[in-house]
Amino acid sequence: MSKPNFKTMSKKELQSYILEHRDDQEAFYAFVDKLHSEANWVEMPPLSTLEDLEHYPEFTKRIRNPSDL
């Protein structure tokens, strides 16, 4: 059985493949590389209180609307 081309797979397809082939480290690393290359996360320092979230409106917007990612 030949392996699929992980570079051409979407993030969703890779995720599904990994869940079906949990021992495939090559697929896992391809998935992590894809996540890293898309880099759509918001970086922020650790919070002391929940009120600190008010200083990061971009983060709270992404939490409320994950489909906007």
Is residue 17 pLDDT above 80, yes or no? Answer: yes
Residues 3 and 29 occupy one common structural domain: yes
Q: Residue 52's domain spans which residues?
A: 41-69
Residues 63 and 51 occupy one common structural domain: yes
User: How many structural domains are present in the chain?
Assistant: 2
Q: What are the tens digits of pLDDT across the range 55-68?
A: 888 878 877 876 65
User: Quick one: average pLDDT of 31-42?
Assistant: 84
Task: Give which of 43, 17, 41, 44 is closest to 29, Cα–Cα.
Answer: 17
Residues 25 and 57 occupy one common structural domain: no
Cα-Cα end-to-end distance for the chain: 35
Residues 47 and 59 occupy one common structural domain: yes
Is residue 39 pLDDT above 80, yes or no? Answer: no
Residues 1 and 33 occupy one common structural domain: yes
Is residue 12 pLDDT above 70, yes or no? Answer: yes
Is residue 40 pLDDT above 80, yes or no? Answer: no
Q: Identify the pLDDT of residue 68.
A: 56
Residues 2 and 28 occupy one common structural domain: yes
